[in-house]
Chain A
């Protein structure tokens, strides 16, 4: 149970990094990535990273 960031879509804006309640998002090779072991998909709430991401289809089910 974890989301992932599609590297080709990521604009490296970093908005998701602040919003992740689990601090599971960090920059890797110029784009952001979600550490699967830290992601809880916001425990049933709408995932915050998806809500803030400006690019449709960038953050998807892993």
Chain B
């Protein structure tokens, strides 16, 4: 296993161009760097890959599937079927008891030094199935006191457990809020189970809405950071999410994460079977751009499984199934401590490099461009084109280089040979993008990309993404790139 775990060496190569020097005041805080938020909040998010775009280049999360029971039915969810190759919320391969989960967390912590967060995201609802959720936290606290915990919930049972969450020192809670108007809610939730019976229609959506808002307000009052997830369902709540954004921001939500509906008849969901489509990448980006002025917007969500393990773009869950876990995993805290040290150093260095890159860009006057990057973490261009499971997309213009999203793609190159059929999928994933930054690329795929009008750039292997993209953009669009 583990050839897709980011090795320390891949992010600690010799310094790329553009390091050192001071930092221009405007450019110093990257979109989610320490400069943009109070110190006590930065402290809470800096190691959490889901709450900080910056952290997701360095840290890994794991979910344990200990909470299968759920109290609402969503039209986009079907937990009955599992497939190891599917990655979407609610899907998991094996459910765990809290003791098994604690053993699994220890085994992962021993092998993945990037691990910083343990989340419980189902596969049902963590707060409805609260006994197992808290039992798991209690068991893990004993062996890994420095691991951060977080939960995600639909919010219906949340108000009953606010104090317990605070007692467990949980800094992060995610609530899925798809509507603030029960008429829209009735189109998304066929029923909820509350106070001992099933409720349907507008009544159900009204109860859910009130409970979600109560939970959100009480969590933020306690200083717990709340991320709101919203599923964008074209024709149902896509425009409505602007109002949701305003409402949750007014109640103190820290981050808003708009995710595309995943809809496929084969998943057996109501929306899948009725042919409700998900949004296109461009529609999602349009909406996210409109929302960017509201609560902080999350664009790096990978909609991971209820048992996902690893950096956000990867999933190692198949390497840590129950039958592969040792009885008593040997855990040495040293590699995780060491990794944190390396990250501290890398971060400071990267912040400086980004500042210099941004200063270069301020001199350009060209329309903004989207570029794709192959990376396996550390904020560097450090992945071979053929090994990419996803492309990270960045937008660049005179204001700087900003993370814009990601596009899923299949490994094109398996066992040393490229696969022509997969190239079609790669080209589809790159819709609207004509530049790809790679650490390395073979001649054939480079030519294939060229035929499709996409330029592969391999001149900046292991450089920071922002530095490389800025240097390329400044050079390409009329201003002499400064090389530091």
A residues near B (Cβ < 8 Å) are 11-15, 17-19, 45-46, 48, 51-52, 54-55
Contact = CB atoms under 8 A, between A and B. Distances in A.
Nearest to B191: A51
Contacts of B68: 11-15
A12 B95 contact: yes
Of the listed residues B69, B124, B196, the one surrounded by the most CB atoms of chain A closer than 10 A to its CB is: B69
Interface in B120-138: 123-124, 128-129
Nearest to B72: A54
B476 interface: no
A46 B80 CA distance: 24
Contact of A52 (B79, B80, B95, B198): B198
A62 to B, nearest CB: 21
A43 to B, nearest CB: 13
Contacts, number: 44
A48 B197 contact: yes
Interface SS, B side: loop
B71 A13 contact: no
B61 to A, nearest CB: 23
A19 B70 CA distance: 12
A54 B70 contact: yes
15 contacts: A11-B79, A13-B79, A14-B68, A15-B68, A15-B71, A15-B129, A18-B69, A19-B193, A46-B197, A48-B196, A51-B196, A54-B70, A54-B73, A54-B79, A55-B80
B196 A19 contact: yes
A13 B124 contact: yes
Contacts of B198: 46, 51-52
A29 to B, nearest CB: 15
A26 B129 CA distance: 15
A54 B80 CA distance: 9
B129 A52 contact: no
B270 to A, nearest CB: 11
A55 B124 CA distance: 13
Contacts of B129: 14-15
A45 B197 CA distance: 9
Given A13-B69, A51-B196, A54-B70, 18 more contacts: A12-B68, A13-B123, A14-B68, A14-B69, A14-B129, A15-B69, A15-B124, A15-B129, A15-B193, A19-B193, A19-B196, A45-B197, A46-B197, A48-B197, A51-B198, A52-B69, A52-B71, A54-B80
